[in-house]
Structure 1
Amino acid sequence: MVHALEHLVVRHTRRLPSPTGPSGDGAAAARRFDAALMTAGFKLSGELLERLSGLAEPTVVETAVRTLATVRELVGDHVRHNVYFVDFPANVPDTLDFWTECFARAVGERDARAGLLRRLRAGVLDLLSLPAYGRYPHTYEEMVARHDELIASAGDRLTVLHPGGEAREEVGALYRALAGSTTPLGAEHLGDLALLAEHHAHDPDGPEEIPVRENRAVVNRGRLRAGAAPLLDTVTDVLRLGCALVDGDVTLHEPTRFRALPRRHRRALLAGLDALVAASPGKLADVSAHGETWKRLGERLHPHEYPHWPHAAEVFAVARGERRAPSLDGRAEALLARGDLTGAADLLASHAPGRLFRAADRLLRTAEEEAEWEAVLAAVERAAPRVSGRVVLSLREHVHNRADLPGAGTPPRRVFVNREGRAWATADTRPPLPEAVRERLAGLLDAETRRRLPDPGLLLIDPQILDVALPLSGRAAPAGLGVLPRGSVSPVEGELLRFFTYWREERHTTDHDLSALVLDGEYATVTWLSYTALSEVEGVHSGDVTEAPDGASEFIDLRLGAVRGTFVVPQVHVYAGEGFDETAECFFGFMLRDTAQEGRPFEPRTVRTKSDLRGPGRVALPLAFRRDEDGRWHAHWLHLYLRGKPSANQVEDHRVSIAVLLRGLFGRKSLTVRHLVSLMEESGTPVAPWDGRSVPRTPVTYLGLERPEGLPPGSRVITPENLRDLLPA
């Protein structure tokens, strides 16, 4: 079973667990393995190549087969990427010429002609009704035969796989890292944690602490199913566990449909509730926040059948309104309604420091005199040591973006992003915070962060990671390759930028459309590329594919030097059928190439990022590209979804809303790795840039986009895959 989990280690850590098998001469097989990896843009490190060479050939071959399948899926090379126009990016026709050709071919086909003429008499021409439109006119093999081999380039991506420890050790370490994460995990990583928890419920070296409640619920489900006692601190932990047992939403954001539970699970949940309330009756105050969910769970637990657990029954009495247990938020609101701002701040600081931090801006805006400002700031400072590092940094980022005061003209835009990545913008009408108050709040937050940061020893830094946003929520970045958290900025170096999307429908005929919107410096539309504009000065579209029972791909090829605007915004629209979180598979990515490289439309060695599309709404905005004043391009990572329309979404319909959203997003700044590095430097940490040549002799802490070779044993390495470990606890 451990071997079945090895692929998780490769995906999350870029380390290959040490294969078990007899010694032998596996050098030739290891070299073939390395060559096969390079076709997908991966490579064995020197140490890993040497280790594999000392194993028997069958062991190396078996390891290669498993690993190649994992990395090809990671980069999106596990599927066949066909294109509608067989010579893409060459010989892409003019849009109207192409539509006219499709119409002419339909007129010439006896079976299609009658229906076509009937629709024309009604004054409608539906492209989807034309037999030649939207369906691949050639096979994948025919498309591949039309393209030359890819010419290797020094700029091609090369991701190095490093040697790991024994498989059991690596899998256990990954379980502890995910379970003990200080940030909420995305849906994909939460699923990985659930799989690992099933096999590590009785692990004596389990995580010392599980600070994120959603992670705790998934771990508790694994423990309960394995016969171990769940880890419960609050009544809401029990509710989350109940949701997890029926594969519901452990974030409690979406309604969960409960079903019948086994008796042993019902007993475990009720016994846990009874013990928690008996030890601390005040915990009943948390019930009303999720009263409806508690009532639905109670219908499945049947607490009346267990009179020996009376305290558990009290929970459901509160949920039904039969017993009063005012929530902490309700008590705080009552104090604010009476004008007792100081009392509300003190209440939250004493009993819910995290909620105080989330309400700090509101409390400071409500304050009308210096004494009240002082009381709120004092409460924040008093509560700070009991707040998670993620919440401290989240408030610090918020404070940083409150520095720009509204001007006399149009108020700035305020952007909201919910848990699932759905985004919307509105005018920011909040009154400004006094500058002295804002600076003092920022100072005390920095002091608290500085106090918690560990001593990393010598800190070696790849400068490109400094502008990567801190992952204050694991949902800020989907699973994939080369994906950075929302708000990150990374340089783009290349002549050709090629977007791609792939989807495979689950049950219903599904049409996803790839588009790219070009905006000028004032966010006005310059042009776009889509199925309605197949070719422009900037580049070409590969053609519209309208159904994907076996999977479908669309591409856009852009010449960066020809772009007439400041922003390029790739986007994926649901035109018909299943949404992003309903398809069997759906992802987006981009490649960078030189003009002379040729090759197939999809070449894994040129892929810079591939990210899963699993979100709400009908329009996906993975990232945007921006050209600075010096003409250099940078990627700005978004991972956002717009509601869109139920069907027929296209770039023309969403140009204005996307421009408004981008204006708000580019008007704010994310807290990045640079912020934590500067705090470490202020604390006396020695910091040096990594040049790849001067290898230290003693262990160091390394921060970079990729794990380098040659670091001394015992060094700590932090890359985007485990960037959450950089956040102070």
Structure 2
Amino acid sequence: MLTTVIRRTLRVPTSAGAAGDGRAAARQLDAVLLKVGFKASKELLEHVAGFAQPTAYTKSIVDAVRGLVGDDVKHNPYFLTFPYDVPDTAEFWTDCLRDALAREVPAEELRVNSFFNLLAMPKYGRRQHTYEELLAAHDELVPSIKNRLTVLHLGGTLEEETRRLYLDLAASPTVLGEADLALFVELAERIGEVPETIPLRENRAVVNAARLNGGLAPVGVDTVTDVLRLACQASGGDVTLLEATRFRSFRRSERRVLLAALDEVVAGNAGKLGDVPQRREAWKRLGERLHPHEYGQWPHAQDVFAVARGEKATSSFAGRAEMAFQAGDVRKAAEILTAAPGMLFRQLDRLLRNGTADDVPVIVAAVREVVPEVSGRVLCSVLEHLENRGKPDVARVFANRSRRAWIAEDTRPPLDADTVEAATSVLEDELVRRLPAVSGLTVEPAALDVVVPLSGNASEEGFGVQPRGSRVPLDGELLRFFTYWRQAELPTDYDLSAVLLDEKLEHVGQVSWTNLSDDGAYYSGDLTSAAEGATEFIDVPRHAVRTKYVVPQVNLFSGEPFTKVAESMFGFMGRDLDELGKPYEPSTVQARMPLNGYGNIAVPVIFERTETGWTGTWLHLYLRGTPWSNQLEANRDMVRLITSGVLRRKYFTVARLAGLIRRKTTVDAPALHIALSRPEGRHVVTVDQLAKLLEPEGASLLA
């Protein structure tokens, strides 16, 4: 848990070792951290210096941050002296063929139909040097003032920091990503505390599942779907209800708890049975495990399963609203949906594009009536959506919770500018009302173009990773990105590639295993298996002649997909053209993330060449691809469409939120600073905390 806390919070829990003189160990810790791109705060160094034998403690700190930036593995590319001496593609393949013939590889193994079989050549795809030889072939890195430096702060005890992390996750107003959700489940079972604030129903289900294991009644349950989520989580299933759960057998005491909770919800409002038909099959399967007919003392709970079986009729808001839509009565649909504010906001675009000019004021009035009841993340999401509806998208890019992407033509008629302004003004006014008052606002420049986190599914865990659509600047003239993977059982070949586009997003070239260099960009060589791990790099200097945009992708060529491989990652770094060092230097890494999406082609980020450097725009997308033999040439057109759709979209960024905050300034309030990292100090909010400012308890962040 110590490693998890450090990586997740950049705060180091205190140690309880024997007192003594550990000043030498503290100096050594700081020196080692600098090589990895980190710096210990003054308080952390003083804490380490107070122990007689802090070696194990300092090693844990170093191991945690090395893993955070991917320095816990050996990054050894195919070409020994990369980025220098990368050969011409044809010359390299010819050399591999000569080597194969010299080794007397049978001719039939070297040919597949009328093509040469690269994989049969002993020299192709297999390193011809050791990691130690790689180190000897590269000079020491000369530190640059541009190199990243991330500060580690001293925290409380491990127990205190673990509880703090648990409460932070519980209080998240945005849906947790897969990694954070798994961590929250672990902490809920370990700590057992009911947090004071749990805005998300998914998080309440996690807490209640831990309580159910302890024989305790659930808390914060006010819909039948809350009970269904609880049963799914307690069965090890999908708490978001997007995937079917195979319910386990519940103990009699657990069945009593679940049925009593259902009975209480429906007894207070029979209209809540209207939520049952939406997930009828799940309720049927759950009924087979709960045996509600055996518990006559909870008749309202029995009604839930009667509705699911079709034995009892009920109507839902969604059904009545759909009937109004089908009848062409948009005003009636809006009136019905006001009883379910979240549903009204999900249907707002449909209402606006199907309503007449006379209907728009009625729809906007319905929005104004219920907007105080809608969560901040939904308000921001709808605001972002409406601001992109003035004209059709070049391509509608969709991504599910596993970040699997697909593209559709935008056939929706655009919304009138006055209609968009009328609706967005209501949303903006509500957001301003919720935001805490400040006397002044400053924003770290690098944070301005970062998208306010509204869902954990639009990002991934890692270091320096930001939500989809975020634009981040890179220091250095040379852009270097990489992928690393280690197979679990089967020989696995991932291929790092890059599509090169011009200012008009037209294809001008590519770098991959089929083309080792193009327009000044270089590829580090193809590795075709990874029993002990494999790393591939691509370098793109800013002086490239034609390239404006660089779109990296990681293709599964053969073997285990991203979700099955033992380990995989993607990252990027900025380097000066004359900067020495190994191909992988942790202090130059600006971002690193695991690859764990459900697709065979990863498209993590877009890079744009600017007048002063590079800018990265996060994508976090995975394409379906084929089960094997994916390569850049087959999907570059789809990648170009995705690039166009993402780059032209307006996102709800920190700069956009800052404009709303400045509408609520007053002299009798604290000043606020928004930053990317986690500096200590009052009235400092990091980007990942911004969504909390939009909720009722947001003012507590400035207390």
User: Aligned pair in 2 of structure 1 residues 70, 685: CA closer, same or farther (>3 Å)?
Assistant: farther
User: Aligned pair in 2 of structure 1 residues 434, 635: CA closer, same or farther (>3 Å)?
Assistant: same
- Corresponding residue of 1:494: 476
Task: After superposition, give the CA deviation of every residue in 1:294-314 in whole Å (9 maximum; x if it has no partner).
Answer: 223333333344444333333
Task: After superposition, give the CA deviation of every residue in 1:364-419 in whole Å (9 maximum; x if it has no partner).
Answer: 1111241x21111110000100000111111111111123x35xxxx733222222
- Corresponding residue of 2:306: 317
Amino acid at match of 2:399: V
Matched, 1:113 2:106: yes
User: Aligned pair in 2 of structure 1 residues 98, 264: CA closer, same or farther (>3 Å)?
Assistant: farther
Residue 563 of structure 1 deviates from its aligned partner by 4.9
The answer to whether the 8 A contact 1:8-1:192 is kept is: no
The answer to whether the 8 A contact 2:81-2:138 is kept is: yes
The answer to whether the 8 A contact 1:425-1:664 is kept is: no
Among residues 186, 191, 196, which one is paired with 1:195 in the alignment? 186
The answer to whether the 8 A contact 1:459-1:686 is kept is: no
- Corresponding residue of 2:684: 717
Alignment of 1:315-714 (within 5 A): 315-350=304-339, 352-370=340-358, 372-403=359-390, 405=391, 412-628=394-610, 630=611, 632-685=613-666, 700-708=671-679, 711=681
User: Which moved further from structure 2: 81-90 or 183-192?
Assistant: 81-90
Residue 445 of structure 1 deviates from its aligned partner by 0.7
Among residues 55, 78, 81, which one is paired with 2:75 in the alignment? 81
Consecutive unaligned residues in structure 2, runs of 5 or more:
697-703
The answer to whether the 8 A contact 1:80-1:140 is kept is: yes
Among residues 223, 240, 264, which one is paired with 2:211 in the alignment? 223
Structure 1 SS opposite 2:16: coil
- Corresponding residue of 1:149: 140
The answer to whether the 8 A contact 2:5-2:12 is kept is: yes
Structure 2 SS opposite 1:229: coil
Task: After superposition, give the CA deviation of every residue in 1:80-112 in whole Å (9 maximum; x if it has no partner).
Answer: 1111112211222211222222222223334x3
The answer to whether the 8 A contact 2:22-2:48 is kept is: yes
Consecutive unaligned residues in structure 1, runs of 5 or more:
688-697
- Corresponding residue of 2:48: 52
User: Which moved further from structure 2: 444-453 or 62-71?
Assistant: 62-71
User: Aligned pair in 2 of structure 1 residues 490, 395: CA closer, same or farther (>3 Å)?
Assistant: same
- Corresponding residue of 2:282: 293
Between the two proteins, the alignment pairs up a number of residues equal to 695
Task: After superposition, give the CA deviation of every residue in 1:266-311 in whole Å (9 maximum; x if it has no partner).
Answer: 4433332233223332222112212222223333333344444333
Amino acid at match of 1:73: G
Matched, 1:12 2:3: no
User: Aligned pair in 2 of structure 1 residues 631, 146: CA closer, same or farther (>3 Å)?
Assistant: closer
- Corresponding residue of 1:281: 270
**What fraction of aligned residue pairs are identical, expressed as a percent?**
49
The answer to whether the 8 A contact 2:549-2:607 is kept is: yes
Residue 576 of structure 1 deviates from its aligned partner by 1.6
Residue 64 of structure 1 deviates from its aligned partner by 1.0
The answer to whether the 8 A contact 2:439-2:665 is kept is: no
Matched, 1:158 2:149: yes
- Corresponding residue of 2:124: 133
Query: Using the alignment, how far apart are the partners of 1:486 and 1:423 within structure 2?
Result: 12
Query: Using the alignment, how far apart are the partners of 1:321 and 1:512 within structure 2?
Result: 50
Residue 318 of structure 1 deviates from its aligned partner by 2.1
Structure 2 SS opposite 1:162: strand
Query: Using the alignment, how far apart are the partners of 1:327 and 1:446 within structure 2?
Result: 30
Query: Using the alignment, how far apart are the partners of 2:6 and 2:496 within structure 1?
Result: 30
The answer to whether the 8 A contact 1:89-1:557 is kept is: yes
- Corresponding residue of 1:690: none
- Corresponding residue of 2:700: none
User: Aligned pair in 2 of structure 1 residues 128, 319: CA closer, same or farther (>3 Å)?
Assistant: farther
User: Aligned pair in 2 of structure 1 residues 582, 268: CA closer, same or farther (>3 Å)?
Assistant: farther
- Corresponding residue of 1:99: 93
- Corresponding residue of 2:701: none
Amino acid at match of 1:376: I
Residue 699 of structure 1 deviates from its aligned partner by 7.0
Residue 114 of structure 1 deviates from its aligned partner by 5.2
The answer to whether the 8 A contact 1:618-1:642 is kept is: yes
User: Aligned pair in 2 of structure 1 residues 535, 432: CA closer, same or farther (>3 Å)?
Assistant: closer
Structure 1 SS opposite 2:591: strand
Structure 1 SS opposite 2:550: strand
User: Which moved further from structure 2: 95-104 or 35-44?
Assistant: 95-104
User: Aligned pair in 2 of structure 1 residues 242, 548: CA closer, same or farther (>3 Å)?
Assistant: farther
The answer to whether the 8 A contact 1:718-1:725 is kept is: no
Matched, 1:182 2:163: no
User: Which moved further from structure 2: 493-502 or 375-384?
Assistant: 493-502
Residue 37 of structure 1 deviates from its aligned partner by 1.3
User: Aligned pair in 2 of structure 1 residues 74, 452: CA closer, same or farther (>3 Å)?
Assistant: same
Query: Using the alignment, how far apart are the partners of 1:314 and 1:400 within structure 2?
Result: 43
Task: After superposition, give the CA deviation of every residue in 1:472-527 in whole Å (9 maximum; x if it has no partner).
Answer: 11222100111111111122221211111111223333221111111011111111
User: Which moved further from structure 2: 124-133 or 145-154?
Assistant: 124-133
The answer to whether the 8 A contact 1:198-1:226 is kept is: no
User: Aligned pair in 2 of structure 1 residues 18, 664: CA closer, same or farther (>3 Å)?
Assistant: same
- Corresponding residue of 1:691: none
TM-score relative to the length of structure 2:
0.94
Task: After superposition, give the CA deviation of every residue in 1:555-576 in whole Å (9 maximum; x if it has no partner).
Answer: 1112122252211111111112
The answer to whether the 8 A contact 1:701-1:717 is kept is: yes
User: Aligned pair in 2 of structure 1 residues 307, 680: CA closer, same or farther (>3 Å)?
Assistant: same
The answer to whether the 8 A contact 1:179-1:215 is kept is: yes
